[in-house]
Structure 1
Amino acid sequence: MNIEENKLQMPNYSPSLKRKRLFNELDQHEKVSLLLVTGDSGYGKTMLISSYICEKRIPAVWYQLGSSDRYAHIFLSYVKTGISRQLGIDHSPQILEAEEVDSELATIVSILADRKEPLLLVFDDYQLVDSSPEIEPIINELIHTSPAVTVIIISRGLPRLPIAKLKVERKYKELTTADLAFTLDETCRFFNEMNQLNLENQEVQFIFERTEGWIASYQLILGVIAKMNVKERLSLWSTFPYVQDIYDYLSVEVLQAQPEEVKHFLYKTSLLTELDPVVIDEFLGIDYSEKILSRLLTQHLFVYRDQQGMIRYHRLFRQYLYQNYKNKIKNDYMKEHLRLATIYEERYQLINSFAHYTIGKDYLKAAKVMGLIRDLYNPVESMLFLDGWLEEISAGDSFANNTLFLIRCVPLATLKELTTLFEENISLLRKKKNELWLCNLQHRLATIYLMRGDIVKAKQLFSDSLKGSEQFHDHAMSALNLILLAEIYRYLRKDEEAIEHVRKAVFISERYKIKHTQIHALDTLATIYLDKEKVDKAAPYIQLALNIAKEHDKSSLTFIYTTMGRLYSVKNDGTKAIEWGEKAVSLAESFNNDFDNGWSKHELGKSYLKSKKFEEAKRCFEQASEAFSLFTHYQCMVEISLYHLYTVIGDKAQAAKTYSEIKNTCEKYDFYWLLDGSKPKAKVKNLKERPKQLTIHTLGNFNVCYENKPITIKRQSSLRLLQFFITHRNKKIEKDMIIDTVFSDGSLSTIDNHFNVSLSVLRKTLEPNLKSGVHSRFIKRFGNQYLFDTTDVDLDIETFMTLTKKGDDADINNLEEAVKLFRGDYFEEYPYEAMLENERERLRVLFVKTSQTLAQHYFEQNHYKKCFEYFERILDKDPYQEDIYFDYLEMLLKKNLVTKATKVASDMKQFFTNEMGISVNDQIENIFSKFSVQMHG
């Protein structure tokens, strides 16, 4: 047998990404005798070592192992040939005889013992010989030859070598999958620097998070997107990871190499996000899952332990297994989820149980488990956990299917806290320009706002989410956004817009076979027609919705039954209307969540009222009002029904009292659509028209007025407390957080006293006639939490935020008023107050964007003077805006105003060079050359 030369040739992966982070780790080779590089297939183990050796030009012997090399005489033949060539020793390459192994090994050890310069002995694909008892003693001898010699083993699994002593002596180093995986920065450099794709930040972030830095997937993705434009890439991300090349790689390189028993195990356990051996044993009916998991970990088969010690699959591998298994067993996969749900419930792992019941569409049991979760766990933490957990368990399926059900299960008291957390996350995603995740979060928050009755905010967020979901081809999310926008337009009495939106949702749902949204869309369409008393049009839609819901989504039956009740009520069939209404109430009570109870009982009450069963109607309305206690908009709708009841039965006193409550609620929350000039007959005036006692200006010079008289806050700590409250306005904040931020020095008792005194002084200053802090309209206390309520405050930043809102109601006059209102930065006189920095930056960015919008508007209207004035105003307020300079220059050059453009370019050069030490000459010259214009001077 002859020596195969290719086995001793080091692979050349040039060009490859230079991984400085790992090269720094490999530089320690001179200190270790054994360097182990282990990891799953496709993590660039071989590429890393070969590129490092080439880069550093270190003498090395490379041995690419095969299954035939498990015999000592063959193995040693290649080792001897490689070492002889590297050290310039005359040697005739041939396979040794088996009886020569001991003497030849002694010769090699003797040669290496004299080595003074670094030498690397690299054994690639070591897993192919690891099981051989003949190889281990040879490797052990080579490891201990000379301090200058380092053995590098590249393997998919941990080799069976005695490494404990080497660890103690600090002569051992290991790089694992976690080390080899690309970081976010390396991901960006791979696609944008090395392969010059110019991906957007959100795309890089998406690839990194979905692949967990798996290098092989980067090469496969690169092959797919190399010639795609932005729009084509967005379409790909919407279906990721369904990239055939990735699935083919996982199938050929990973799954096909496993025995049938392991394949079966991998498929079945892909339904779990946490690989708990006790749960798996019960689920699969075995008692050895721990051994299989240990083997998978040892072999690095895309399995790892997380920071909590829980074993998990790598995300892409699990999604591949899950989707394959789901396709293999069809609808039975839901039964499997339900089996897991039962196992988790019996083990009191309730969040896991709820998630699997929900994915398995047993919404009744899911709702019952949620009742236990509400009693046992912190509600906010459990809701946020579930928000991501359902999506993780369903491995790539659209979470739109479960959004409404999840939000309906949220305890009422939790909604406000969730709102704050979602708002903060949305703000963070916007800052990072991470639109791929933004539309999902906007939809979640919009749903909460809708259920709480903040229709205006919900409408804006649904519209924003719709743009994102359409951009990224998330059809289920797009349909759901359209349906809920239709619901809002229905409330606002804009039926044409409502029908237009819901018809789009029906089309999307039917085209892409999305049963959940199809049911919801048909129900909404039927409801809109019932509002107009068009029974013939409504009937086929609600009947179709009922048929689909019975088969595909029983959680929606409460609402379908309610609409069926309305249908018969409009047809004046009181008996059937009540019958369907009672079915809806019964189902809602079994789900045991407040929103469903309120919804069904309100509609049943209306059916009772129409049938002149006044006591039953009153009882239903009162129960619905209680269920909707935190759903203000829906509660107000129930109160209007109660008003009608009192009017019909002639209880004028109670009718007047109820109407007064309705009017106050509508004024407070600006529910103008609920009072449209008929029943009750009074158009509610917009609260904004009424002057407010307290006025606070924070943009530019800070000042406070009470009933138009200036107020001075003399106590410095009270002023800082007010600054904190304004910054975190309309949010409940824990007292401890306020103290930590505003009162950082002193003992606990001193600080607590300081807080109480400062708070008391602030309340008295803002409300001179206040007798007790508990009656404050502005600074309210809820247990250990405080809230600065701006409902009755004329606060410039609130007005600024309202005026700058975009969407259907955006108005150029409003934007102009907003820019005028921005007299300076937020609390401009306090530039070094750290707690104000984030809000100051947020408002400044909004001012810049608003001014840009106005500049663009006036440019398009050919009002160039006004356009350029807005650019000048931006640069006057914030001269660090590099992009603004470039936009300004382009608009000037488009109108051939070269002299003015030259002046702006000169100012920019001077500012960026002198103030920041940054040269912008090349960018400026590129802009001028684009318009074939030479700069003057």
Structure 2
Amino acid sequence: MTMKIEENRLRLPTYSSYEQRSRLYDEFDKYPNASLILLMGDSGYGKTTFVSNYIREKNLPTVWIQLAGTERYVHMFLSYLKVGICKLKNEEYPIETVLPKNTELELEEIASLLSRQSTPMYIVLDDYQSVDASPEIGFLLTTLINRASSMVKFIVISRVRPSLSMTKLKMEQKYMELSTADLAFTFEETKEFYNTTHKLALEDHELQLIHKTTEGWIASYQLILGVIGKMNHQERSLFWSTFPKVQDIYDYLSTEVIQSQPDDIKLFLYRTSLLPELDPIVIDELLGIQKSGEILNHLLNHHLFIYRDGLGILRYHRLFRQFLYQNYKGLVTIELINREHLKLAAIYEGRFQLINAFAHYTVGKDYINATKVMGMIGNRYNPVESMLLLDGWLDEISPDESFASNTLFLIRCIPLSAFNELTVLFEKSISVLQKEKSELWLCNLQHRLATIYLVRGDIQTAKDLFHKSLASSERFHNHTTNALNLTLLAEIYRYLGNYSKAMAYVRESLFISDKYRIRHTQIQALDTMATIYLDDKNTEEASLYIHQALELAQQFDKASLFFVYTTMGRLFRIKEDFAKSQDWGTKAVAIAESYRAEFDIGWSAHELGKSYLENGQLEKAEHFLEKASHASSLFTLYHCEVGMTQLELYKKRGDGKRAAKKQAELLKFLKEHNYDWMFNQIEETDNKEEEKLPRLVIRTLGCFKLFFNDEQLIIKRSSSLRLLQYFITNRNKQIERDIILDAVFPEGSFETVHNQFHVAVSVLRKVLEPNLTSGTRSRFIKRSGNHYLFCTEEIDLDIERFTFLTSVQDNHDSEDTIHNLQQAISLFQGDYFEEYPYELFLEAERERLRTLYIKTSRRLADFYYAQKEYNTCFEYFEGILKKDPDHEQSYLDYLELLLIQKCTLKASSIASQMIQHFEREMGIDVEESVTTLFVKYDHPASLQRIGN
């Protein structure tokens, strides 16, 4: 049976409006002896248009065949080829197809004809992917190419790499290839297309946005042209704010690409749109499959907008990934997408790909794990290089994520050591972008650098950069960056005392945030507005806005909670409700410490310190202000504000010497950093030193240290040191002299021991109280007849604070209780007088404190396990085992929790450690107990690793 030839499929396509591709013409002309030219790439890259234009421009004698599925049969393929050749030679041709039985005869006839061709002939096979599945066609085409004369050139246009043997042709330099990357428009061609051919006069930043986002995908250029062709400048600015969400482009991709894919491939495409790098091992673990490599190869071979970059890493084309991500968002909830990000973060963390893990934790809104990973990054890599990589990586991870939305969180995570170097690198990048007139990217980078300057305390530079970024963000309708610029400018004007301007800016930010429902900027604007009202002591208005911020932060942005909690603490402090103020402040500090971010710790600890200060709790105030001062050491403005509060503390205490010293430091600091507006906050302090009793500080947990008026003291006489150790151990008790002698001076004659004792007491008093004129006036070592008492009432003694914090607790794990327990653990730097392990009179107190430490650590471990903060729980267990490695039940409890959470590698390690300690060092058999646990939680395979 024969069929009629469809002659319209043998016509050269009509000339397109695309301009001449002179760059590609030159490529073609470089290979005058090529027998086979392959154009291979994704849909919409202008393969057919380019070849047809080239043929028309050069007026080349061409046989053009638009292939379809029917040509996968050899007789059909030969029929169209024969007719095409006859038409080119103006010879008569059959109107019906070749009969299948005559295939070999027709092939020989055409091959013979092509071998005798003495004038140039081009044979173009368009849409070759429609016949590539047929091995017979591949063999036929290879035969024709090999037998054709040098005058014949075959041009194959295909979306997939043809199954043809090209080795011989490559060796003979008779083969050339143009890929998607070659076909894509360059920036100069983009400019020529829009501004020369279509006379739109687009600005460089608009052209760069198109080129970078589309990666030179030609089909999108026509679709974009159809949208912006008649727009004015203002209308285009609005269009760029939502680019590349162009419905015509998405419709094209849906029709030309997605609809033809089976459901399993569609789902694969959607779910993997979360990944900027397509690693088959990671994808297998994410999707729970074992064939990702096979699917990726299928996508690559069929040119479904996927490519290998210069490092061999597979990626989706940027615009295609954006399209997939938007489609995926329409199919599932944002909560599911966040869970996918967190699953990926855990996968990457397990593979020690920490940059990827941090980015996915951040986009998935798990800020605690993000900061934990950032700590690992800081210890592992050069901080500046890792921050620059992260800066771009966050924007790559989530195609829908605003550039600015994670700026403040990212900068709060920056290791302090990286600030100066990172600032220099950002400034260089800005200089390059200014020369290139890349205003859209310049706007974003200016915002990011301005935030760094603000956090560092360079207010004027930050203000200038925010204003520049604001001008561009308004122009490009970049609403998120616009709102953040306005809020942070409001903060700056608040610092400068210009409250009317600050309020105007923050109100504008809140209007934009409310209108476009940008939750992140809403929270920040509400918090800033509340802060401005609190500066004016308007607690009623402030309460309204901070409670709105709290509600939004709890739902949408938990990384903002520590800011909101801190402001809430300030609200209640101004209302003089110190219990609530300290409750909110403690929450803020706890969050900051869980993030391990110095900026956060300094910010929150400062406010909590102020609350204790105003409530007259000076010891606690000093503790948190010292913490804030240390944490804010490189954030100059905030460090200065902490210093102001410390100055107030010293004045309240009547400590004129420290107040004068702090005031002098602050005045010098304000001048150095041009903080002119802060001078009036410092009241002149009389430099005359007020009478103040000296302060004695003794640290006994870990390394023994002794301080008098902030200067470290050394006790050179060993007998005096032993006497002090005994006094501290038996503090605040009346002890008979003979009992002291037996304990501290067990050897020697009665007279010798008495002399040693009196000399030791005398030396000790002189060390502890250098200005003491008489032993009877000692504040610390008091004597009554033959009894001595070591009084600690005026001593800052760590074991007393440790004992107090661990004993005055409730039974319900309130936030105050947990905070106190954490403070106690932080005090325990080691065993009681750990450098002196052989003094018998220290042993009972040492054991008591060690037991209290273990008991407290276990309570905290249980608390954090109940809160599902497993890593923190496990850290406390590690501390317990380090302090008490002989406690079998602690090992077993820890193992059980690890196995419940499926931390099998860690469980195996702990089990090995336990077995080695108990069996090999103590001769106690624990293997049966360990095995029972592993079997109970279905991890028998892990047992094989134990002990190896």
Tell me the equivalent position of 1:101. Answer: 103
Does residue 632 of the first structure (1) align with residue 625 of the second (2)? Answer: no
Tell me the equivalent position of 2:443. Answer: 439
Q: Distance in 1 between matches of 2:250 and 2:681?
A: 61
Q: Is the 8 A contact 2:660 2:685 kept in 1?
A: no
- Per the TM alignment, residue 16 of structure 1 is displaced from its structure 2 partner at its CA by 2.5
Q: Is the 8 A contact 2:404 2:448 kept in 1?
A: no
Alignment counterpart, residue 223 of structure 2, candidates 220, 230, 238: 220
Letter of the 2:85 partner, please give it.
Answer: I
Q: Distance in 2 between matches of 1:315 and 1:130?
A: 28
Tell me the equivalent position of 1:531. Answer: 535
Q: Deviations over 1:350-385 (max 9, x none)?
A: 100000000000111101010000000111111111
Does residue 416 of the first structure (1) align with residue 445 of the second (2)? Answer: no
Q: Is the 8 A contact 2:63 2:124 kept in 1?
A: yes
- Per the TM alignment, residue 676 of structure 1 is displaced from its structure 2 partner at its CA by 2.5
Superposition map of 1:309-458 within 5 A: 309-331=312-334, 332-458=336-462
Alignment counterpart, residue 242 of structure 2, candidates 239, 243, 260: 239
Q: Distance in 1 between matches of 2:23 and 2:403?
A: 37
Alignment counterpart, residue 148 of structure 1, candidates 148, 151, 160: 151
Q: Distance in 1 between matches of 2:260 and 2:515?
A: 39
Q: Distance in 2 between matches of 1:142 and 1:63?
A: 15
- Per the TM alignment, residue 680 of structure 1 is displaced from its structure 2 partner at its CA by 5.1
Q: Deviations over 1:597-651 (max 9, x none)?
A: 0001110110010001111111211111111111111101111111111112111
Q: Distance in 1 between matches of 2:234 and 2:441?
A: 17
Alignment counterpart, residue 124 of structure 1, candidates 123, 126, 131: 126
- Per the TM alignment, residue 678 of structure 1 is displaced from its structure 2 partner at its CA by 5.5
- Per the TM alignment, residue 235 of structure 1 is displaced from its structure 2 partner at its CA by 1.1
Please give the secondary structure, in 2, of the residue aligned with 1:36.
strand
Alignment counterpart, residue 305 of structure 1, candidates 304, 308, 311: 308
Q: Distance in 1 between matches of 2:390 and 2:135?
A: 49
Please give the secondary structure, in 1, of the residue aligned with 2:113.
helix
Q: Distance in 1 between matches of 2:47 and 2:16?
A: 15
Q: Is the 8 A contact 1:36 1:174 kept in 2?
A: yes
- Per the TM alignment, residue 249 of structure 1 is displaced from its structure 2 partner at its CA by 0.4
Q: Distance in 1 between matches of 2:684 and 2:33?
A: 86
Alignment counterpart, residue 517 of structure 2, candidates 513, 517, 522: 513
Tell me the equivalent position of 1:73. Answer: 75
Note the aligned Cα RMSD (angstroms): 1.2
Q: Is the 8 A contact 1:522 1:541 kept in 2?
A: yes
Alignment counterpart, residue 40 of structure 2, candidates 26, 33, 38: 38
Tell me the equivalent position of 1:623. Answer: 627
Letter of the 1:338 partner, please give it.
Answer: L
Alignment counterpart, residue 264 of structure 2, candidates 261, 277, 280: 261
Tell me the equivalent position of 1:175. Answer: 178
Q: Distance in 2 between matches of 1:30 and 1:533?
A: 83
Tell me the equivalent position of 2:547. Answer: 543
- Per the TM alignment, residue 681 of structure 1 is displaced from its structure 2 partner at its CA by 8.3
Q: Distance in 2 between matches of 1:476 and 1:196?
A: 32
- Per the TM alignment, residue 89 of structure 1 is displaced from its structure 2 partner at its CA by 2.8
Alignment counterpart, residue 556 of structure 1, candidates 524, 546, 560: 560
Q: Distance in 2 between matches of 1:132 and 1:232?
A: 51
CA 377–312 in structure 1, closer or farther in 2 if over 3 Å, else same? same
Alignment counterpart, residue 567 of structure 1, candidates 560, 568, 571: 571
Alignment counterpart, residue 194 of structure 2, candidates 178, 191, 205: 191
Q: Is the 8 A contact 2:473 2:479 kept in 1?
A: yes
Letter of the 1:203 partner, please give it.
Answer: E
Q: Deviations over 1:883-929 (max 9, x none)?
A: xxxxxxxxxxxxxxxxxxxxxxxxxxxxxxxxxxxxxxxxxxxxxxx
Q: Deviations over 1:98-153 (max 9, x none)?
A: 11111111111111111122211100000011112331222112212111111111
Q: Distance in 2 between matches of 1:492 and 1:464?
A: 19
Q: Is the 8 A contact 1:30 1:147 kept in 2?
A: no
Q: Distance in 2 between matches of 1:429 and 1:661?
A: 40
Q: Distance in 2 between matches of 1:549 and 1:186?
A: 47
Q: Is the 8 A contact 2:16 2:49 kept in 1?
A: no
Superposition map of 1:469-488 within 5 A: 469-488=473-492
Letter of the 1:616 partner, please give it.
Answer: K
Tell me the equivalent position of 1:784. Answer: none
Q: Distance in 1 between matches of 2:601 and 2:300?
A: 49
Tell me the equivalent position of 1:87. Answer: 89
Please give the secondary structure, in 1, of the residue aligned with 2:497.
coil
Q: Deviations over 1:239-276 (max 9, x none)?
A: 11100000000000011111111111101100000000
Alignment counterpart, residue 504 of structure 1, candidates 489, 505, 508: 508
Q: Is the 8 A contact 1:61 1:86 kept in 2?
A: yes
Q: TM-score, normalised by structure 1?
A: 0.72
Q: Is the 8 A contact 2:67 2:130 kept in 1?
A: yes
Q: Distance in 1 between matches of 2:623 and 2:30?
A: 78
- Per the TM alignment, residue 677 of structure 1 is displaced from its structure 2 partner at its CA by 5.8
- Per the TM alignment, residue 29 of structure 1 is displaced from its structure 2 partner at its CA by 4.9
Q: Deviations over 1:9-52 (max 9, x none)?
A: 01022432111111111124531111111000000000111111
CA 359–217 in structure 1, closer or farther in 2 if over 3 Å, else same? same
Q: Is the 8 A contact 2:114 2:152 kept in 1?
A: yes
- Per the TM alignment, residue 208 of structure 1 is displaced from its structure 2 partner at its CA by 0.7
Q: Distance in 2 between matches of 1:476 and 1:335?
A: 24
Q: Is the 8 A contact 1:32 1:173 kept in 2?
A: yes
Letter of the 2:628 partner, please give it.
Answer: A
How many correspondences in the alignment?
A: 682
Alignment counterpart, residue 22 of structure 1, candidates 24, 38, 41: 24
- Per the TM alignment, residue 328 of structure 1 is displaced from its structure 2 partner at its CA by 1.3
Q: Deviations over 1:160-212 (max 9, x none)?
A: 11112222222111110010000111111011111111111111111111100
Letter of the 1:184 partner, please give it.
Answer: F
Q: Distance in 1 between matches of 2:444 and 2:658?
A: 44
Q: Distance in 1 between matches of 2:623 and 2:18?
A: 74
Q: Distance in 1 between matches of 2:684 and 2:322?
A: 56
- Per the TM alignment, residue 219 of structure 1 is displaced from its structure 2 partner at its CA by 0.4
Q: Distance in 1 between matches of 2:313 and 2:294?
A: 15
Q: Is the 8 A contact 1:422 1:445 kept in 2?
A: yes
Q: Distance in 1 between matches of 2:15 and 2:664?
A: 78
Q: Is the 8 A contact 1:675 1:681 kept in 2?
A: no
Q: Is the 8 A contact 2:663 2:682 kept in 1?
A: no
Q: Is the 8 A contact 1:30 1:148 kept in 2?
A: no
Q: Is the 8 A contact 2:659 2:685 kept in 1?
A: no
Alignment counterpart, residue 281 of structure 1, candidates 280, 284, 290: 284
Q: Is the 8 A contact 1:142 1:151 kept in 2?
A: no
Q: Is the 8 A contact 1:304 1:311 kept in 2?
A: yes
Instruction: In structure 1, list runs of 5 or more residues that go unmatched.
Output: 683-937
Please give the secondary structure, in 2, of the residue aligned with 1:676.
helix
Letter of the 2:506 partner, please give it.
Answer: V
Instruction: In structure 2, list runs of 5 or more residues that go unmatched.
Output: 687-948
Please give the secondary structure, in 1, of the residue aligned with 2:39.
strand
Please give the secondary structure, in 2, of the residue aligned with 1:31.
coil
Q: Distance in 1 between matches of 2:17 and 2:343?
A: 50
Q: Distance in 2 between matches of 1:493 and 1:680?
A: 21
Q: Deviations over 1:60-105 (max 9, x none)?
A: 1000011122111111111001111112333333211111111111
